[in-house]
């Protein structure tokens, strides 16, 4: 009897341990793996600032990025993404951005994804600037975490904005959300509670959802000016007077500090400092004071781009018979014939978001100009800028060549808006 009891207990224990093992190892990708799960991990790492290409191939660079992430977060350093590493990646992403990143899988539908995330198809489409419900495997979707859209509140804010335009240029207004506390708001903005209470004539720290608060701004620039010599102060004042002083930017759904900084040619730390922000979390509807900016948001219009090289157009934008594959395919850019070694210049200012090898395109540079607009420069012999660097219009970004799927030396120049290819001729001189 005791023997049977012992065997029964042992079997139960083994089943329990096996179930734990299966649960822990339910997700695991490692070196040489390929597919959607790898893309998902690469997207998380890239969003967190690690140098990794989202090509769906778990190569050495991805393994090195995983090891760096594990080392930085006191995880087991083995380069393998298991349950614990994945969960921490997701947690850190959720703290960094206002959306969940979802990589479309085979068989996915927009309605199915919306149902599984408790959002509507319309909300996903608006959040991703989509004009169609069609999706494809490998496509990135941003699923908004803040799903409640209060039209009444937006209308009220718009009306208030019209009545308070002049006042709002000098202050930051914040609408209290459900669950907010005065101490929590103060901590996010790096402000003493007393300063917020004084600015709003509050007698207590009681606040309620829908209430509008004035958040005082600390004038760091003035403090810095006072500590400099008179000559430096005059030079700085002159510079400020010629940069339109400041812009008030209302945060949109899906915005991040990094994208806003790119849009205005400034940096995250400057935006944080000018708005008393503590961390990277921002909320749709809030307003940011933008100072020390180099440019206003990029607008894709006629003559907004310059020619990256000067040469003969050998293949226009649109349908064509592919010169190598001999099948009718859509050509999503312009092919410009130039000798190998020709300087390739940025068609507009922006941030380099890809610099290196890309399948089919060879050595490629992609520049993000803000508002979802990117330009692509492909088939180069080498690139001359690094990912993450800011470039000015006309600055060299590559040297032309004949790499990738190419029949001769030329530059493939593409323009994309929200990842949709556009005809570059519509925006060139």
Q: Distance (Å, rounded) from C-alpha 268 to C-alpha 103?
A: 27
Per DSSP (E only), the strands in 235-371 are 247-250, 287-290, 312-315, 318-321, 328-331, 334-337, 343-345, 350-358, 362-370
Q: Tokens for 398, please give them.
A: 């590559």
Tokens of 136: 């494809």
Give the DSSP letter string of 160-187: HHHHSHHHHTTSEEEE--TT--HHHHHH
Q: What percent of the chain has pLDDT over 90?
A: 18
* CA–CA separation, 20 and 36 (whole Å): 25
Name residue, tokens 């790492």.
45
CA–CA gap between residue 145 and residue 127 (Å, rounded): 11
- DSSP state letter for 81: B
Q: pLDDT at position 5, please?
A: 61
pLDDT at 338: 95
Q: Is the pLDDT of residue 243 over 90?
A: no
Confidence at residue 414, expressed as pLDDT on a 0 to 100 scale: 94
> Does the structure show a pLDDT above 50 at 20?
no
**∠287-293-299 over CA atoms, to 5°?**
80
**224 vs 270, higher pLDDT:** 270
Which 8-state DSSP code applies to residue 17? Answer: H
Res 10: pLDDT: 63
Compute the average pLDDT of residues 331-345. 93
Interval 93-101 mean pLDDT: 63
Set out the domains of the chain in order of their start, with CATH numbers: 2-144 (1.10.101.10), 151-290 (3.10.350.10), 312-427 (2.70.70.10)
Residue 13: the pLDDT is 62
Which pLDDT score is estimated for 287? 84
What pTM did the predictor assign? 0.40
- The tokens 């430096």 sit on which residue? 232
Other CB atoms within 10 Å distance of the CB of residue 271: 24
Judged against a pLDDT cut of 70, whether residue 219 lies above it is answered with no
Q: How far is CA 331 from CA 210, 361, 381, in A?
A: 50, 12, 21
In the three-class reduction of DSSP (H, G, I as helix; E, B as strand; rest coil), residue 158 is classed as: helix
Straight-line distance from the first to the last Cα atom of the chain, in angstroms, rounded to the nearest whole number: 92
SS3 412: strand
For residues 375 and 369, is the Cβ–Cβ distance under 8 A? yes
Question: What per-residue confidence (pLDDT) applies to 137?
Answer: 79
Q: Write down the pLDDT at residue 7.
A: 64
Task: Give CA–CA dist 346/191, Å, rounded.
Answer: 41
- Each as own residue / partner, the long-range contacts of residues 234-241 (CB below 8 Å, 24 or more positions apart, any chain) are 240/291
DSSP 7: H
| Helices and strands (H and E) in the chain: how many | 14, 18
Task: Measure the CA–CA gap between 307 and 283, rounded to whole angstroms.
Answer: 38
Whether the pLDDT of residue 383 is over 90: the answer is: yes
pLDDT at 217: 61
Residue that is written with structure tokens 């909300």 in the block: 123
pLDDT > 70 in the chain, percent: 74
- The string of DSSP codes covering 92-132 is HHHHHSSEEEEE--TT--HHHHHHHTT--HHHHHHHTT-SS
Average of per-residue pLDDT across 334-347: 94
Per the DSSP assignment, residues forming a β-bridge with 34 are: 57
Place 405 in a pLDDT band, splitting at 50, 70 and 90.
Answer: confident
Which tens digit of pLDDT belongs to each residue from 152-190? Answer: 344 445 544 544 443 333 456 777 877 778 777 776 666
More confident position, 362 or 55: 362
């Amino acid at each position: 009897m005791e023997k049977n009891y012992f065997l029964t207990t042992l079997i139960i224990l083994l089943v329990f341990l096996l179930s734990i093992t299966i649960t822990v190892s339910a997700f695991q990708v490692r070196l040489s793996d390929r597919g959607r799960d790898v893309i998902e991990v690469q997207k998380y790492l890239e969003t967190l600032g690690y140098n990794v290409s989202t090509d769906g191939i778990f190569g050495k660079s991805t393994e090195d990025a995983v090891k760096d992430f594990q080392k930085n977060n006191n995880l087991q350093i083995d380069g393998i993404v298991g349950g614990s590493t994945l969960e921490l990646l997701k947690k850190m992403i959720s703290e960094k951005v206002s959306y969940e990143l979802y990589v479309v899988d085979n068989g996915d539908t927009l309605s199915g994804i919306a149902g599984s995330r408790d959002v509507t198809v319309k909300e996903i489409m608006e959040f991703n600037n989509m004009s169609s419900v069609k999706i494809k495997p490998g496509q990135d979707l941003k699923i908004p975490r803040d799903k409640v859209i209060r039209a009444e509140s937006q209308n009220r804010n718009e009306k208030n904005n019209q009545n308070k335009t002049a006042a709002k240029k000098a202050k930051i207004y914040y609408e209290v959300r459900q669950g907010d506390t005065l101490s929590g708001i103060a901590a996010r903005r790096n402000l003493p509670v007393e300063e917020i209470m004084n600015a709003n004539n509050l007698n207590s720290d009681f606040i309620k959802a829908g209430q509008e608060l004035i958040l005082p701004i600390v004038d760091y620039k003035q403090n810095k000016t006072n500590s400099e010599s008179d000559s430096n102060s005059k030079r700085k004042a002159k510079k400020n007077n010629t940069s339109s002083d400041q812009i008030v930017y209302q945060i949109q759904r899906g915005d991040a500090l990094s994208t806003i900084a790119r849009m205005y040619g400034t940096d995250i730390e400057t935006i944080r400092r000018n708005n008393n922000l503590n961390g990277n979390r921002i909320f749709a509807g809030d307003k940011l004071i933008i100072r020390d900016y180099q440019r206003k948001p990029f607008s894709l219009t006629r003559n907004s781009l310059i020619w990256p090289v000067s040469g003969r157009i050998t293949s226009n934008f649109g349908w064509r018979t592919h010169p190598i594959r001999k099948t009718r395919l859509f050509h999503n850019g312009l092919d410009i014939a130039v000798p190998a070694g020709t300087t390739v210049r940025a068609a507009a200012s922006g941030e380099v978001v890809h610099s290196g090898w890309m399948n089919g395109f060879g050595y490629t540079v992609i520049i993000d100009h803000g508002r979802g607009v990117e330009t692509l420069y492909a088939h180069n012999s080498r690139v001359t800028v690094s990912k993450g660097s800011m470039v000015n219009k006309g600055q060299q970004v590559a040297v032309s060549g004949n790499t990738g799927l190419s029949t001769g030396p030329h530059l493939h120049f593409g323009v994309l808006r929200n990842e949709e290819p556009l005809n570059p001729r519509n925006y060139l001189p």
